[in-house]
Structures are given as structure tokens and as C-alpha cells.
Amino acid sequence: MGVVTKRSLMTFFSDGASHYSHRVRIVLAEKGVTVDVVDTDPDNIPEEITELNPYNNLPTLVDRELVLFEPNIMMEYLDERFPHPPLLPVYPVARAQSRLMIFRIERDWCALADTILRDSGSAAADAARKELRESLLATAAIFAEKPFFMSDEFTIVDCVVAPLLWRLPKMGIELNDKQAKPILKYMDRIFARESFKASLSEQESDMRG
């Protein structure tokens, strides 16, 4: 592993089109962290990342001598390093439930989204698109229970869900059913947050015009 280049600011090497990078940018914006966000082409990884990150991938977060290259670890690190506002519950049981919910979202929704975004136009993408839409609609009632995803407060789970929902048009998924109203209302609340607006990359802004 190479020597971390000393920087005066925390640096976040971000893929402006990736929902994994986006979730970390939402946390950074929620916390109001002073950070140098470097929009990086995933097909042209700079040498600095190659020297620091053994997996040579994005996102990569550099904070002084610390280098992180897994987005969920980044989010929890930022929540602990900048405790206000808190994005994870205080109590161990609730924290474990939040982590488990993120795990399920990644298994049930993120994997499908990755297939759609990676293989758009393929039979596998078409099947994943149908499955993701049906899965979202099947859980629509959850979005109606509380202002945020299974919570009265904005949490780290919302930071994972919101980037996926923002990409629905890009994935060719329309939620225009009456059944989808709770999801659409949730999206309106989240997308109107100043932190969410601040988190958007140029590519992400273009996804919804």
C-alpha cells in the first residue's frame, strides 16, 4: 500500500453516476462536512487511488492517514466522526436493525439495480427491472407508515434508499400506480431536502432533468 498523500481537506473520490457513491455524498451533505469531492471516471482510475486502495475502485474516502473503500463503512465512520445530526440510532438493537435493513436493501434492491444499470437492454436487465418494480410496489405500505424509511427521523437507511429511487427513470421504471403513492410522497420529501440537492453530481442532476 502506498503512502497517503497529505491533504488539508477530507477527499472523496466519487463516481458521479453510482448510487454507492451517492449514498456517501448524502451523508457528507447531511453532516455539512467540508470535503473535496473529486468526480472520478471509474474507467480511468487515477494513480493516487491505485496506490491507496487495494481494490482500485470507487468510491474511496481519504481522511488524513485513513483510507476507506467500502461505502457502508464510510457512512458509519462519518456518522461517528461527525455525530450531529446522528444518522444511526443510539441503542444497539435499533442500530443492528438499521444495519440489517441496509443489508436487505442491498440484497433485494441494489443487486437488481446493478444488473439494470450494467446490462441495460439485456434480457437479464428486463427481468431485473420487472422484479425491482414489483418489489417496490409490494413494500409501498412501509413508505406510508413513517415520514422516513421505517423511521420518524432521517437515517442512514434513507441514504441508501434515496439514490435508488432517484435512478428509477434511468432504469426505465415508472411508478404511476395508485399503489405507488406512498413511495412517490416519500420521494418528494427526500428529494426536497437541501442536503439531498447538495449531494447530486452533474450526472445525477441530468437523470431527472
How far apart, in Å, are the Cα atoms of 93 and each of 72, 104, 130, 146? Answer: 18, 16, 34, 19
What are the E-state strand segments in 1-158?
10-14, 35-39, 60-63, 66-68
Task: Tell me how far the alpha carbon of residue 188 is from its chain's centroid.
Answer: 17
Amino acid at 130: K
Q: Is the dihedral of CA 176, 115, 149, 204 positive or negative?
A: negative
**pLDDT tens-place string over residues 74-113:** 999 999 999 999 999 999 999 999 999 999 999 999 999 9
Task: Please check whether residue 43 lies inside any domain of the structure.
Answer: yes
Pairwise CA distance, residues 138 & 140, whole Å: 6
Query: Are residues 58 and 101 part of one domain?
Result: no
> Does residue 120 form part of some domain?
yes
Q: What is the CATH number of the domain that holds 38?
A: 3.40.30.10
- If asked whether residues 193 and 112 sit together in one domain, one would say yes
Residues 77 and 96 placed together within one structural domain of the fold: no
- What is the average pLDDT score of the chain? 95
Structure confidence by residue, pLDDT tens digits, 132-153:
999 999 999 999 999 999 999 9
Q: Which residues in the chain show pLDDT less than 50?
A: 1-4
Q: How far apart are CA 159 and CA 101, in angstroms?
A: 12
Domain with 46 in it: 10-81
Same domain, yes or no: 147 and 188: yes
Handedness of CA 22, 197, 66, 13 (dihedral sign): positive
